[in-house]
Amino acid sequence: MMQQIVVGTAGHIDHGKTSLVKALTGTDTDSLPQEKARGMTIDLGFAYLNESVTIIDVPGHEKFIRNMAAGAASIHVGLMVVAADDGIMPQTREHLEILNIMGIQKGIIAITKIDLVDDPEWIDLVELDILSLIEGSVLEGASICRVSSETKLGIDSLKELLETIVNNVQPETKSRLFKMNVDRVFTKQGFGVIVTGTVGSGAIHKNDSLECLPGNIPCNVRGIQTHGGDVSESEVGDRAALNLTHIEKKDIRRGSVLASKGALKTTSIIIAQIHMLKDTRWIIKNKQRLRLNIGTNEILARINIVGDPMKKGEIKNTFLTFEEPIAVASDESFVIRSYSPMETIAGGVVLDSNPYHWRIEKNRIHLLPRLPKERFKYWVNTQWQSPKSLKDWSLIFFVSSSHISEWMNEYGILPDDKTGIVYSVEMEEVTQNAIIKSLENFYEKNPLRNVIPGDSILDDCEITSLWGNEILYRMVKKLMLEKLGKGYSISGYEYTLNKTDQLDMGKIKRLFQSNTFDLLSVKEMQESSNLPPKRLSDMLHLLKENGDLFSIGDNLWIPNDIKQNLFDILSNYFITHQSLSVGQFKSLTNQSRKGAIPLLEYCDKIGWTKRNGNDRIKGSEIHE
């Protein structure tokens, strides 16, 4: 199927939009709503120029601005209508601003009702006013046609021009995931729930499973109609009616979003770039209550502005907090209206549909780029502590993986084959520097501790383990770090013991009697040595790194040089014995039960023994 090109009308009330659509297509959109309200129709306000071009006849009355915002969200070509007898009117300006906000690709202007004006010079003046109005807008440079829907004068020329323009439109398929904003919900006997909307992305097939948001309510597609007929699938740009099962009418409404499972999340706060209209009289202040028309949803929100209030013509990144959760996609456009009286005062675009936290993001919100690919590059480089995969980024931006791959190629961003993480050279360097800084800070506070556990380093830097462990591995390969057991140290780092250090280490070593298996707890060593807890802990780590002592857990320590003795004793014992009781182990090691149990459990842990009921048998690490 060829993707539908959507043409949307705009203009002041009574300037002849509906009559023009009827003259172009033969469809009277005014006759549809009441006549077909109970049928499975999708033609509400829609007509078809041909099989691949849909015209949305957007009502121009004030109370229907929300319909225009919903329609403009999927418009490729704007058809601005200005009546020859009235010229430019307030809603002409307002609708042009909305087309600017929504960022249509191309436009065309029709001066209608020329049969009502006898003076050609008057129409020339109207055209000059239009040229002045559209300067700097998305319609700048658009062709202007003079037509009469009544006499059909100029209609064929307008139709030919429209067909030429739409043939040059390149609709962008951003995501293969399905998304549709619901604009109407009703039930039909024998069918159940039916919803209509314009397919915003992806495609839908009969029997597909979807979820309705907010609420994450699962549902299935029993039937599909486009252009008034049954079809097996519907694609992006199509007007579609979906017959849904496993969902109640009360659970879905205008403003709901149907999407592939897991494609979207609901949110109560977004980061958005707000564009104040250049002629608005309004000033937006921090915490002000606003109306948003986003998709087919009209919702109230509070704005959180970092800095001064926003005045006409200003552009600023802000936070918007909704009064109820909604489902939005990255880079979705919307219209902002004042709470009361209702006037269009600004437009916006979603930059981040799930911002991490106001306190964290507010200091850098102004740095977030408007263009998606630039925002992707910015996030890759700044979110180095919790980097994401290609699939993650695809869902965040609601675009296909091929889009992300194109951005990666453009900016030299790389995929890590081992972890699947997307990263840049800059991001890797930032992560490495953070790890080095963490180690240096640790050495400054703990100069006697050469080796630091990898988990402790990553926790200190707040780096996710998957990415963090990969960077630690790379740093070892580059000889930036040394790996010692489960710990790491900066290559070449060495602390020179002073006289006090040597005396304290000797004091601890003398607490252990030679050639015995007696265990000492940290508490016992502290009481005997009179060393402060922090000093004792540093000394024990140093003795462990030097191979003098080792810990068997539960803060119990033993000299390392008797470890081989213990192994030899157990090896010799199991040559002639099948099992070892606690009492026999106490005799072999001259231990009390208090020390024997922890020591036996340590032997179990390292595979020298294996527990068998109350006894031990030979472990896997003791060979014949």
Domain residue ranges of the chain, discontinuous segments joined by +: 5-167, 179-259, 266-367, 496-624
Cβ–Cβ under 8 Å, residues 332 and 73: yes
Q: Residue 314 pLDDT > 90, yes or no?
A: yes
The whole-number pLDDT of residue 72 equals 55
* Mean per-residue pLDDT of the chain: 87
Q: What are the Cα distances from residue 375, in Å, to 4, 368, 370, 372?
A: 29, 6, 7, 5
Where is average pLDDT lowest: 368-372, 390-394, 438-442, 483-487?
483-487
Could you tell me the pLDDT band of residue 445, with boundaries at 50, 70 and 90?
confident
Q: Residue 284 pLDDT > 50, yes or no?
A: yes
More confident residue, 362 or 216: 216
The whole-number pLDDT of residue 198 equals 86
More confident residue, 355 or 302: 302
Could you tell me the pLDDT band of residue 70, with boundaries at 50, 70 and 90?
low
Q: Residue 521 pLDDT > 50, yes or no?
A: yes
Could you tell me the pLDDT band of residue 458, with boundaries at 50, 70 and 90?
very high
Could you tell me the pLDDT band of residue 289, with boundaries at 50, 70 and 90?
very high
The whole-number pLDDT of residue 40 equals 42
Q: What is the CATH number of domain 266-367?
A: 2.40.30.10
Evaluated on CA atoms 60, 66, 72, 74, the torsion sign reads negative
Token pair of 617 as six digits? 């048998």
**DSSP state letters, 284-342:** B-TT-EEEEEETTEEEEEEEE-SSSPB-TT-EEEEEEEEEEEEE--TT-EEEEEESSS-
pTM over 0.75, yes/no: yes
Q: Residue 389 pLDDT > 90, yes or no?
A: yes
Could you tell me the pLDDT band of residue 37, with boundaries at 50, 70 and 90?
very low
Q: What percent of the chain has pLDDT over 90?
A: 50
Q: Residue 485 pLDDT > 90, yes or no?
A: no
477-491 average pLDDT score: 91
Could you tell me the pLDDT band of residue 541, with boundaries at 50, 70 and 90?
confident
483-494 average pLDDT score: 87
The whole-number pLDDT of residue 278 equals 85
Where is average pLDDT lowest: 82-91, 343-352, 494-503?
494-503
435-451 average pLDDT score: 88
The whole-number pLDDT of residue 322 equals 96
Using CA atoms, how far apart are residues 38 and 36, in angstroms rounded to an integer?
5
The CB density around residue 256, as the number of other CB atoms within 10 Å, is 26
The CB density around residue 94, as the number of other CB atoms within 10 Å, is 21
Q: Which helix (H) or strand (E) holds 82?
A: strand 77-83
Q: The domain 5-167 is classified under which CATH number: 1.25.40.90, 1.10.4080.10, 3.65.10.10, 3.40.50.300? A: 3.40.50.300
The whole-number pLDDT of residue 358 equals 67
Give residue for tokens 């436009």.
107
The whole-number pLDDT of residue 99 equals 83
Q: Residue 305 pLDDT > 80, yes or no?
A: yes
Q: Residue 43 pLDDT > 60, yes or no?
A: no
Q: Residue 36 pLDDT > 50, yes or no?
A: no
Give residue for tokens 């084959």.
417
Tallying the residues shown for the chain, one arrives at 624
Token pair of 243 as six digits? 């017959």
The CB density around residue 40, as the number of other CB atoms within 10 Å, is 17
Q: What is the pLDDT of residues 73-95, one digit of tens each?
A: 567 888 899 999 999 998 888 88
Q: Residue 38 pLDDT > 80, yes or no?
A: no
The whole-number pLDDT of residue 544 equals 84
Q: Residue 285 pLDDT > 90, yes or no?
A: yes
Using CA atoms, how far apart are residues 79 and 7, in angstroms rounded to an integer?
7
Using CA atoms, how far apart are residues 46 and 7, in angstroms rounded to an integer?
10
Using CA atoms, how far apart are residues 38 and 235, in angstroms rounded to an integer?
25
Using CA atoms, how far apart are residues 156 and 300, in angstroms rounded to an integer?
44
Q: What are the Cα distances from residue 238, in Å, to 98, 202, 233?
A: 22, 10, 10
The whole-number pLDDT of residue 42 equals 44
CA 168 to chain centre: 32
Give residue for tokens 């009330």.
13
Q: Answer whether 179-259 and 266-367 agree in fold.
A: yes
- Say which residues have a Cβ less than 8 Å from residue 182's Cβ, sequence separation at least 6: 195, 196, 197, 252, 253, 254, 255, 256, 257, 258, 296
Could you tell me the pLDDT band of residue 226, with boundaries at 50, 70 and 90?
confident
The whole-number pLDDT of residue 412 equals 94
**DSSP state letters, 153-209:** TTHHHHHHHHHHHHHT-------SS-EEEEEEEEEETTTEEEEEEEEEESEEETT-E
- The superfamily (CATH) of domain 179-259 is Translation factors (2.40.30.10)
The whole-number pLDDT of residue 41 equals 39
Where is average pLDDT lowest: 3-7, 331-335, 389-393?
3-7
Q: What are the Cα distances from residue 408, in Å, to 401, 413, 415?
A: 10, 5, 9
Could you tell me the pLDDT band of residue 34, with boundaries at 50, 70 and 90?
very low
The whole-number pLDDT of residue 39 equals 42
Q: What is the pLDDT of residues 185-194, one digit of tens each?
A: 998 888 889 9
Q: Which residues are 310's β-sheet partners? A: 284
147-159 average pLDDT score: 91
Using CA atoms, how far apart are residues 71 and 358, in angstroms rounded to an integer?
32
Could you tell me the pLDDT band of residue 468, with boundaries at 50, 70 and 90?
very high
Using CA atoms, how far apart are residues 546 and 549, in angstroms rounded to an integer?
8
Q: What is the CATH number of domain 496-624?
A: 1.10.10.10
